[in-house]
Structure 1
Amino acid sequence: MHKQDIAFNRCAKYTVEELLSVFRAEAQFICKKPEDVRTVAESALSDFIKCYRRYVRFV
Structure 2
Amino acid sequence: MSFLDKAKAMIDKHEDKVDAALDKIGDEVDRRTGHKHSSKIDKGVEEIKKRTGPTR
TM-score where L is the length of structure 1: 0.49
Which protein is richer in helix relative to its size? Answer: 2
Does 2:42 align with 1:24? no
TM-score where L is the length of structure 2: 0.51
Cα deviations across residues 11-46 of structure 1 (Å, max 9, x unaligned)?
2342645322202323455x4xx2324323211111
Question: RMSD of the alignment, in Å?
Answer: 3.0
In the alignment, which residue of structure 1 is the partner of 2:44? 44
Identity of aligned residues (%): 10
Tell me the matched-pair count: 52
Cα distance change of structure 1 residues 25 and 35 upon mapping to structure 2, 3 Å threshold: closer
- Which protein, 1 or 2, shows the higher relative CO under an 8 Å CA cutoff with sep ≥ 6? 1
Which protein is richer in strand relative to its size? Answer: 1
Tell me how far apart the structure 2 counterparts of residues 9 and 15 of structure 1 sit (CA, whole Å): 12
Structure 1 unaligned residues grouped into runs of 5+:
none
Q: Give 1:2 deviation, angstroms.
A: 1.6
SS of the aligned residue for 1:14 comes to helix
